[in-house]
Amino acid sequence: MRYSRLFGKTLKTISRDIVMKSHKLLTRAGFISESTAGRYFFLPLGMRVHDKIMKVIEEEMDRAGAQKMITPVLHPLELWKETNRTKTTGFELMKVKDRRGADFALGGTAEEMFVDVVRKNGVSYKDLPMNLYQFSTKFRDELRARGGLLRVREFTMKDAYSFHVDEEDFKKEYKNMWDTYSRIFKRLGLDTVVVESDNGYIGGEYCHEFVVISDAGESRFLMTEDGSYAAHEDVAKFKKVGMNIDEKEEEMVEVEAKRGPKMEDGVELHKKPLWQQIKDVLFVDEHGRFILAIIRGDLDVNETKLKHVVDVVDLRHASDDEIRDVVHSEPGFISPVGIKDLICKDKKIVVIADDSMRTVKNFYGGANKKNKDLFNVNIDRDFKPDLEGDIAMAEKGYLSPEGKKLVDKKGIEVGNIFQLGLHYSSRMKDAVFTDKDGKEKQFYMGCYGIGLGRTMATIVEMMSDEKGIIWPEIVAPYKVHLVRLGDSGDLKTKAEEVYEKLKSCNVEVLYDDREDVSAGEKFADADLIGVPIRIVVSKKSLLAGGAEVKKRGEEKIGIVEISRIEKVLGL
Amino acid sequence: MRYSRLFGKTLKTISRDIVMKSHKLLTRAGFISESTAGRYFFLPLGMRVHDKIMKVIEEEMDRAGAQKMITPVLHPLELWKETNRTKTTGFELMKVKDRRGADFALGGTAEEMFVDVVRKNGVSYKDLPMNLYQFSTKFRDELRARGGLLRVREFTMKDAYSFHVDEEDFKKEYKNMWDTYSRIFKRLGLDTVVVESDNGYIGGEYCHEFVVISDAGESRFLMTEDGSYAAHEDVAKFKKVGMNIDEKEEEMVEVEAKRGPKMEDGVELHKKPLWQQIKDVLFVDEHGRFILAIIRGDLDVNETKLKHVVDVVDLRHASDDEIRDVVHSEPGFISPVGIKDLICKDKKIVVIADDSMRTVKNFYGGANKKNKDLFNVNIDRDFKPDLEGDIAMAEKGYLSPEGKKLVDKKGIEVGNIFQLGLHYSSRMKDAVFTDKDGKEKQFYMGCYGIGLGRTMATIVEMMSDEKGIIWPEIVAPYKVHLVRLGDSGDLKTKAEEVYEKLKSCNVEVLYDDREDVSAGEKFADADLIGVPIRIVVSKKSLLAGGAEVKKRGEEKIGIVEISRIEKVLGL
């Protein structure tokens, strides 16, 4: 490609609103151009990178035995109603009505569509397992787009959906996809950490994110230094060590407690440790039920974990008025002890105890009355929670479940894999296969996604220097950036010779043939665009016996005879 | 690929609503599956064909010097407002609002988007010409979908847009694209006729359809037997031969005419030829103006041509009441003579004469009064049209502009190329390049489209027999369909050997490894799916010394040693 004819040249100035490194570099170098916020044109250079990323993913998905197909972008809204996802998706679903009044969703993910096409085509146990994937445009009506390709409203996603006779068979595919994703990102030059994460709007029981550690990312997670454990902050588990667990349970007593509503006020008044205090957090769920979460005083409630344990979609904090007038307790003095007898008859309260409540004896805390506290509160004896589980937020410095110190990290989520189990097949009619015994059974499912644009941006976040992008060869828009310095006839002839020779050897070459452009500008553009090998044809190089060859990101310059130019590229 | 594991197997029964050949075959053979009317899943077999068609198009577009990129699917509606296409598109535009209230169109074609990205990136004459293309999902809110992939509501389109300094440069690219399209369809095994056609909602002055002659098509066109002229019925020109052109112009007279309103009524009453009668057709345009089209009595008005001559978007026939009460004429007796003096003062009438009005002297026809006719009406002398031009409908049997007999044909439009001229650049702000003299000039443009799904369906319409599809090798989902007959261990070993051998030679092979399926069913499936080469491994073939090899569409069966199997494929 002649650079003079390329659409999408380097830009000298870009909008001040562009702050992320990958956004800046991809825009300045002419790979992408904004249409409206969160929607991008991929210019010819960007398209080439996008296509190459797609090719790597396709090769690895095929190698893993997955089958490529495609679904329409407009999904019949009835399908999303079958699974009740019209309301519960984490992204705002975009909807459109056609001229006949039919309702459609603009595909955000495609679980329902794939279940639909599989159930329409009637499969039996003999067809399973199968893993179907597509590359298709996805829409997310994000409130805020940010960071160029890192968080957009429209993007190409590789999404795959696997169908199995049972969990055992699914687990093999989950491993297969785990390995496939590891290979994909490795080939793309990205080091990924596999992080346990929350399944969010997708459903199912467990899932993992493939995360590239970077401050540009939005994924916060905790991991051990050796990487043996990594989990998103929403789901990270940690060791809750016993504190005074050998102490004898003392008699519960009510004491005067003229104090403020904060945890520290209790600590100061009673001169007892924070961890011995009960932390009570009162929420209201989408059904109007009160949810009282109780946890050891030195820990925090993790709302994502809490939602899973209680199995609700939405939680909000109860107001002071609700605490007083409906629950008949007192802000800052809530206690699980006796609270079920206090609340208005027509209201429900569910008490959930974090399992840290079993690491301490003789808790102290509020008494559901102003300026009264209880000492020596013990679980089972003084109150019985409706539910118990892990609802605690992990923090750096805590111990992993195996007892290693956790550190916190930020990263970019480039891919994820989900167990779906029977989540979709149990909600959608006829989502069944015929088993060996002739009976119909629901599929066991998984799904697997990679965002292509975000992967591209992540490569740039990780591989650049102060001059520009440094593309790994596998996704570089071209292999060689040929630069001609000077416009004399002889130079042109020599440069054209190199250009034609490389093309005839099937080397992808970008040829900067612009006239009246300075050497400095051409070199700066080459560095900015970031093609792996730069070849310069100039008066100086010809005098030295040929063309200058230099790798992007290295300083060493070699001279190669033009007649042997293709050999030094190791073709 | 093992057929046992393929998703999308052949179907024994399909819906009775499926009537078109390509729709039937693609559905029965497992290439496509309907989502909702006009929206299809491409199953793995169909996806492979779709990808191969895409590859051919991409190769030829790249060879032609076009640059691949991609635009978002959601187009900001403001862009469509700039060109006033929100109302004038031939397809109903689908619109969607995001959560922030921004309006978008679901891309139907992308002229505005490409102009937008080019103007945003500031180009000069040095960057031109350039031809930018994409493969992207397009949406058409068709009232009726029909014929499977032939007319759909959502499909992948290759759309290209070229930008030029002037018309002369554009014409070179138009020729380049014409040749490129011819090559593309030839490589895909399709014979195309290039047909002049109407530019419809795209704008511009001329365009051509690439049409495959077939009764399955919706494009009606006229052509000479030798193919020297071909044009869509909407735009076809023909020779309008002089009739009594040497006659002297007689004095115009008004005569009694107790007759019905039809053309034949005048012929019968006056015993004069139909061609000598004036045909008057009164329309109302979108501005409320009356448009009187007059034409020689033996010809019909072509509304598409009329709209172009008058430069209006919408025409409807005037009602009898409007003819009487507003125009003050009489249904069946309308005449251009004096009509401008009759119409209500606050209304406008525009008289358009077909150029056939100059092929006859001494016309007869109505007198704008009931039961009165005029004889010896002559253009210029008795009335002066506001506009003159070709507004006549061509019919089979007429003569082409060069004087050859026209025949009528039906066909499938698989591609089209459009001159856009300054249509978009003159309507959109800043749609300019910097010329040599430093001044800003509007781009001269063209655009070029191919629908991939329709192309796929057309291949099936043209290449099949009573047993199924006969794919041309270049787009066949696989090159070899390997069929194993019998499930004995020895047969399995031999068949697997062939399968592995072919795969190791990079031959795409579909292996029917199903157990307990009869030979008849396997052969029928192979014929239905239509892979070019069938290789059978059976007891019989092994006894005969190897595997049976047969080409789809031919009867001859050969026996080839398994050890030499890849050689006979000419690999």
| Tens-digit pLDDT profile for residues B183-234 | 999 999 999 999 998 876 666 678 999 999 999 998 899 999 999 999 999 9
- Count how many domains chain B has: 3
Nearest CA in chain B to A136: B137
**Is the same domain home to A440 and A494?**
no
CA distance A95 to chain B (A): 7
pLDDT at B504: 93
Q: What is the full DSSP assignment across B88-156?
A: H-SSPPPEEE-TT--EEEEPS--HHHHHHHHHHT--BGGG-SEEEEEEEEEE---S--BTGGGB-SEEE
Measure B244 CA to nearest chain A CA, in Å: 52
Residue B566 reports pLDDT greater than 90: no
- Both B47 and B131 in one domain: the answer is yes
| CB contact set of B301 (below 8 Å; sequence gap of 6+) | B279, B281, B293, B295, B354, B391, B392, B393
pLDDT digits (tens, 9 = 90+) for B249-305: 999 999 999 999 999 999 999 999 999 999 999 999 999 999 999 999 999 999 999
**CA atoms of B192 and B145, how far apart (whole Å):** 24
Reduced 3-state DSSP string for B478-511:
CCEEEEECCCCHHHHHHHHHHHHHHHHCCCCEEE
Question: What backbone phi and psi angles, to 5 degrees, belong to A141?
Answer: -85, 65
Cβ-contact B406, B396 below 8 angstroms: yes
My answer on whether B365 and B436 are in the same domain is: no
Which of A7, A31, A138 best tests the B interface by mutation, with the highest count of B CBs <10 A?
Answer: A7
Same domain, B172 and B280: no
Summarize pLDDT for B389-422 with one digit per residue, the tens: 999 999 999 999 999 999 999 999 999 999 999 9
Q: Looking at the domain assignment, is residue B556 inside a domain?
A: yes
Question: What is the pLDDT at residue A571?
Answer: 53
Give the dihedral sign, CA A462/A466/A468/A474. negative
Q: Are residues B384 and B411 in the same domain?
A: no
- Selecting from A75, A92, A117 the residue whose C-beta is nearest the C-beta of B99 gives A92
Q: Give, in order, the Cα–Cα distances in Å from B254 to each of B292, B341, B368.
A: 21, 17, 11
Residue of A82, A174, A170 lying closest to A119 (CA atoms) = A82
Strands B39-42 and A547-551: unpaired
Mutation for B interface: A67, A142, A456, most B CBs within 10 A: A67
8 Å CB contact of A74 and B117: no
Residue B153, Cβ neighbours under 10 Å: how many? 26
Using a CB-CB cut-off of 8 Å, the residues of chain B touching A76 are 35-36
B120/chain A closest Cα distance in angstroms: 8
Q: Among B94, B99, B130, select the one facing A7 at the smallest CB separation.
A: B130
Whether B494 has a pLDDT exceeding 80, the answer reads yes
3-state DSSP helix/strand/coil % of chain B, to nearest 5? 30, 30, 40
Whether the Cβ atoms of residue A435 and residue A148 lie closer than 8 Å to each other: no
Do A41 and B67 count as a contact with CB atoms less than 8 A apart? no
What is the model's pLDDT at position A390? 96
Judgement on whether residues B323 and B454 belong to the same structural domain of the protein: no
A524 assigned to some structural domain: yes
Element (H, E) at A429: none
Closest CA to B334 of B277, B378, B289, B388: B277
Beta strands A74-76 and A103-106: pairing type? antiparallel
Q: CATH number of the domain at B281, please.
A: 3.90.960.10
Q: Do B35 and A71 touch (CB under 8 A)?
A: yes
**In this predicted structure, what is the pLDDT of residue A144?**
81
The answer on A142 and A38 residing in a single domain is yes
Residue A218 in domain: no
| Widest distance between CA atoms in chain A | 100
- The answer to whether the Cβ–Cβ distance between B7 and A132 falls below 8 Å is yes
Residue A150 makes CB contacts below 8 A (sequence gap 6+) with: A20, A22, A23, A216, A217, A218, A412, A454, A457, A458
Q: Based on the fold, state whether residues B453 and B507 are members of the same structural domain.
A: no
Q: Is A316 exposed, middle or buried (0-12, 13-18, 19+ CB in 10 A)?
A: exposed
pLDDT band at B568 (very low <50, low <70, confident <90, very high): confident
Of A67, A96, A143, the CB nearest to B94: A96
For residue A241, being part of any structural domain is answered with no
Are B287 and B364 found together in one domain? yes
A123 contacts in chain B (CB < 8 Å): 7
Look at strands B349-354 and B290-296 and give their pairing.
parallel
> What CATH number is associated with residue A536?
3.40.50.800
Predicted pLDDT at A200: 67
Measured between beta carbons, the chain A residues lying within 8 angstroms of B8 are 69, 121
Are A123 and A85 found together in one domain? yes
Which residue in B8, B71, B153 is closest to A35 by CB distance? B71
Q: What is the pLDDT of residue B90?
A: 56
Q: Are residues B221 and B267 in the same domain?
A: no
Burial of A401 (0-12, 13-18, 19+ CB in 10 A): middle
| Residues of chain B contacting residue A154, judged by C-beta atoms under 8 Å apart | 72-74
Choose the mutation target among B121, B134, B433 for the interface with A, i.e. most A CBs under 10 Å: B121
Question: Which contiguous run of DSSP H or E holds residue B419?
Answer: strand B406-421
- Let me know if residue B244 belongs to a domain: no
Contact A46 B35 (CB under 8 A): no
* CA B163/CA B182 separation, integer angstroms: 21
User: Based on the domain organization, do B172 and B295 belong to the same domain?
Assistant: no
Q: What confidence score (pLDDT) does residue B7 get?
A: 98
Label the pairing between strands A290-296 and A349-354: parallel
User: A67 vs B76: CB contact, 8 Å cut-off?
Assistant: no
Find the domain containing B49 and state its range: 14-67+107-237+407-460
Residue in this structure with the two tokens 């130079």, named with its chain if needed:
A491
Q: Look at residue A401 and tell me if it is in a domain.
A: no
Place of tokens 């001269």: B444
B544 within domain boundaries: yes
In a domain? residue B38: yes
Tell me which chain B residue has its CA closest to the CA of residue A516.
Answer: B126
Q: What is the mean pLDDT of chain B?
A: 94
- A282 beta partners: A292
Pick from A434, A460, A486: which residue ends a domain?
Answer: A460
Question: How large is the average pLDDT for residues B22-28?
Answer: 97
pLDDT in tens, chain A (571 residues): 999 999 999 999 999 999 999 999 999 999 999 999 999 999 999 999 999 999 999 999 999 999 999 999 999 999 988 988 776 655 578 899 998 899 999 988 999 999 999 999 999 999 999 999 999 999 998 888 878 999 999 999 999 999 999 999 999 999 999 999 999 999 999 999 999 988 766 666 789 999 999 999 988 999 999 999 999 999 999 999 999 999 999 999 999 999 999 999 999 999 999 999 999 999 999 999 999 999 999 999 999 999 989 999 889 999 999 999 999 999 999 999 999 999 999 999 999 999 999 999 999 999 999 999 999 999 999 999 999 999 999 999 999 999 999 999 999 999 999 999 999 999 999 999 999 999 999 999 999 999 999 999 999 999 999 999 999 999 999 999 999 999 999 999 999 999 999 999 999 999 999 999 999 999 999 999 999 999 999 999 999 999 999 999 999 999 999 999 988 776 5
In terms of Cα–Cα distance, which of B470, B449, B467 is closest to B49? B470
Assign residue A22 the CATH number of its domain. 3.30.930.10
